[in-house]
Amino acid sequence: MAHYDPFAEQYHHMVQKGGAESSYRYILRQLQSLSDLQGAAICDVGCGDGELSSRLSLLGAEVTGIDLSAKLLAYARGKTGNVTWLQDDAMVLGKLPDEAYDCAVSSVMLMDVPDHGAVFRACHRILKPGGVMVWTVMHPCFQSPFSYPMGDGSRKVMQYAPQFWKSGGTGTIRSTLGAYHRPLAQYINDFMASGFSLLRVDEVERMDTSVDDLPLLFAAVGRKRE
Ligand SMILES: C[S@@+](CC[C@H](N)C(=O)[O-])C[C@H]1O[C@@H](n2cnc3c(N)ncnc32)[C@H](O)[C@@H]1O
């Protein structure tokens, strides 16, 4: 299971440089269009250094940020005391009660867990009836080690099968922790099979288009079925 502690500083700096900005903006936009965030109970699953949780809290939400990494949670605690920060496994959410949250969000973390379906099911359990889940992942078609930039703004996709991968090199998050590559259909079908009605899916644009201008993220919004 991915453990970010040795990479907490590296990830925190990446967030400071805006590396996950398009995911935060997408999730905030979707939540704001669906519900009044003032007083809404929101769980940020795999909250990392707490950037998205903190922004949701500033918008008036009652936020619980969950992560496995104690070091990332330390950065999160340094950002705000207005969020409840908990060390917990996203695939279980064992510290959280049933049907307590209006929304669950998961920003670019499902590729880190061996069982993304377990995360969907855990989020389904903690959501109130009719609650909403918004999630983003690195786009599995274009942003994977099996998709090579051709130097002209395009990419060549070499493989698309579900598999665990590690990138080349050393000392990076993906060369050490690796990630799970899953096709779009697997994410969507497993989300719906976990008890969510699909409200929309999106392919979120890159902010930095220097390598290519293909979508950076795949994203979905669903509502817990009664
Ligand atoms: C790529 S980071 C994304 C962090 C944050 N959501 C963001 O968008 O900046 C993935 C996060 O998932 C967390 N994570 C990985 N596996 C987890 C698990 N089983 N339970 C809880 N958190 C997990 C990692 O510690 C890390 O903070």
Q: Is the pLDDT of residue 103 over 60?
A: yes
Could you tell me if the CB of 112 is within 6 A of ligand 1?
yes
pLDDT tens string 143-199: 888 898 898 888 999 999 999 999 989 999 999 999 999 999 999 999 999 999 999
CB contact set of 56 (below 8 Å; sequence gap of 6+)? 28, 31, 37, 42, 44, 63, 105
Q: Give pLDDT, residue 143.
A: 87
CB 12 within 8 A of CB 49: yes
pLDDT tens string 122-151: 999 999 999 999 999 999 999 888 898 898
Between CA 89 and CA 224 the distance in angstroms is: 21
Between CA 7 and CA 3 the distance in angstroms is: 8
Q: Is the pLDDT of residue 226 over 80?
A: no
Bridge partners of 179, per DSSP, are: 165
CATH topology (fold) of 5-128+165-224: Rossmann fold (3.40.50)
Between CA 114 and CA 116 the distance in angstroms is: 6
The per-residue DSSP string of 68-135 comes to S-HHHHHHHHHH-SSSEEEE--TTT-TTS-TT-EEEEEEES-GGGSS-HHHHHHHHHHHEEEEEEEEE
Q: How confident is the model at residue 2 (pLDDT cuts 50, 70, 90)?
A: low
Task: Give the residue, out of 1, 93, 109, 180, with the most ligand 1 atoms within 8 A of its beta carbon, to mutate for a pocket test.
Answer: 109
| Cα–Cα nearest to 96, from 47, 60, 29 | 47
Could you tell me if the CB of 138 is within 6 A of ligand 1?
no
CB contact set of 225 (below 8 Å; sequence gap of 6+)? 195, 196, 197
CA of 3 to the centre of ligand 1 (A): 8
Q: Is the pLDDT of residue 210 over 90?
A: no
The average pLDDT across 201-223 equals 90
Query: Which H/E stretch holds residue 197?
Result: strand 196-204
Q: Give pLDDT, residue 1.
A: 54
The average pLDDT across 69-97 equals 98
Report helix, strand or coil for 180.
Answer: strand
Could you tell me if the CB of 217 is within 6 A of ligand 1?
no
Instruction: Answer yes or no: pTM beyond 0.85.
Output: yes
